[in-house]
């Protein structure tokens, strides 16, 4: 129930907007670098980077440069970095065995970051698409993305990352039952302190295109992901998925994409009161950057406004490619 408000002119809402100091005193939601997880793309090589054409300002980085990025993030007060590997087509296979190779790009990057910047949390991606010649998050058998066999592979992938030193695992595959299988495996193998940030409500969205360019999955993908990612028209299903993942052992949950699904973020936080995150995905980032580069929008202002909207919608944090730039501004 809304409180009673005195009639005008006794109540003048503009009084509390009159100066920056007054606005700061009554501001309900604020941003800080501690709200961000920075997604970073990892590629093979040494002391090199390759710009992602569809994501202005974002590059794939070699492991040594990823370490530099982690040091920069830590210095800015960003608490976590999230790794996504770029796997060349010749390393992609039907069996996706590179996904649980102890020396794959992700696992080498985890070890290098934890050696150099042990204070920063390292999050990883759990899905087969970077390693799958078909570009899908799961195994493809006779045109079907199969669930249970995929979950077995995801467990092997997760354990390899936990051994490498990952702090947070991010299952983004949307297979049924994978959270319970991951949690059981982590517990039985002595990795009880590894957290799971589940992509619980991940929609079959058109906003992922630039990300697929960044990880080299665009050309590989055959068909779409609608049989395992959520229908954009559904919201009640997201609540059931969140509830299931929490019951299976997820520590935190995520809504993906972000800005087009703020209603889902709010429902999740109000319904469950758990650590809730959103991913400001590549398409959201790219469209803001493109508009800013064309002079159609003030890039700095729309960046910060877009990030603040996640906090207002109930999110505890945001995965965003804007993380270092936003952190620098927020740090003054």
Residue spans of the chain under pLDDT 50: none
Q: What is the pLDDT of residue 145?
A: 94
Cα separation of 85 and 278, whole Å?
20
Task: Tell me which CATH homologous superfamily contains domain 31-330.
Answer: Aldolase class I (3.20.20.70)
Beta strands in the chain (DSSP E): 36-43, 49-51, 59-62, 80-85, 121-126, 140-141, 144-145, 168-171, 195-202, 252-256, 276-280, 317-320
With 0-12 CB in 10 A as exposed, 13-18 as middle and 19+ as buried, what is 251? middle
Do you find a cis peptide bond into 257, omega within 30 degrees of 0? yes
Annotated active-site residue in 114, 225, 256, 311? 256
pTM: 0.95
Cα separation of 329 and 332, whole Å?
5
Q: Please say whether the beta carbons of 156 and 117 come within 8 A.
A: no
Q: What is the pLDDT of residue 144?
A: 93
Tell me the CB-side half-sphere exposure of residue 60, using CA atoms within 13 A.
Answer: 23
Annotated active-site residue in 202, 225, 269, 311? 202
Judge whether 256 counts as a catalytic residue: yes
Q: What is the pLDDT of residue 103?
A: 97
Q: What is the pLDDT of residue 222?
A: 75
Q: Please say whether the beta carbons of 212 and 218 come within 8 A.
A: yes
Judge whether 71 counts as a catalytic residue: no
Q: What is the pLDDT of residue 205?
A: 96
Domain boundaries, the chain: 31-330
Q: What is the pLDDT of residue 219?
A: 64
């Amino acid at each position: 129930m809304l409180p009673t408000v005195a009639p005008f002119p006794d109540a003048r809402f503009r009084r509390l907007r009159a100066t920056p100091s007054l606005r700061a005193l009554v501001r309900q939601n604020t941003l800080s670098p501690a709200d961000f997880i920075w997604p970073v793309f990892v590629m093979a090589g040494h002391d090199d980077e390759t710009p992602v054409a569809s994501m202005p300002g974002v590059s794939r980085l070699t492991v040594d440069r990823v370490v530099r990025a982690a040091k920069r993030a830590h210095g800015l007060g960003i608490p976590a970095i999230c790794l996504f590997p770029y796997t060349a087509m010749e390393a992609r296979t039907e069996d996706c065995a590179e996904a649980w190779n102890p020396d794959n790009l992700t696992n080498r990057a985890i070890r290098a970051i934890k050696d150099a910047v042990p204070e920063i949390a390292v999050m990883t991606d759990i899905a087969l698409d970077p390693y799958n010649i078909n570009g899908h998050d799961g195994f493809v058998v006779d045109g079907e993305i199969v669930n249970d066999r995929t979950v077995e592979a995801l467990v092997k992938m997760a354990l390899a990352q936990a051994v490498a030193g990952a702090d947070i695992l991010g299952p983004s595959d949307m297979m049924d039952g994978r959270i319970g299988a991951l949690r059981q495996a982590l517990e039985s193998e002595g990795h009880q302190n590894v957290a799971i940030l589940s992509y619980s409500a991940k929609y079959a969205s058109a906003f992922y295109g630039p990300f697929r360019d960044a990880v080299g999955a665009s050309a590989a993908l055959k068909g779409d992901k609608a049989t395992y990612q959520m229908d954009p028209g559904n919201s009640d299903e997201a609540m059931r998925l969140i509830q299931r993942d929490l019951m299976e052992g997820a520590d935190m949950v995520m809504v993906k994409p972000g800005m087009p699904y703020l209603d889902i973020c709010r429902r999740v936080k109000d319904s469950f009161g758990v650590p809730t995150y959103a991913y400001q995905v590549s398409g959201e980032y790219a469209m803001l950057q493109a508009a800013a580069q064309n002079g159609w929008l003030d890039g700095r202002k729309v960046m910060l406004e877009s990030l603040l909207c996640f906090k207002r919608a109930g999110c505890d944090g945001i995965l965003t490619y804007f993380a270092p730039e936003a952190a620098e501004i927020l740090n003054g």
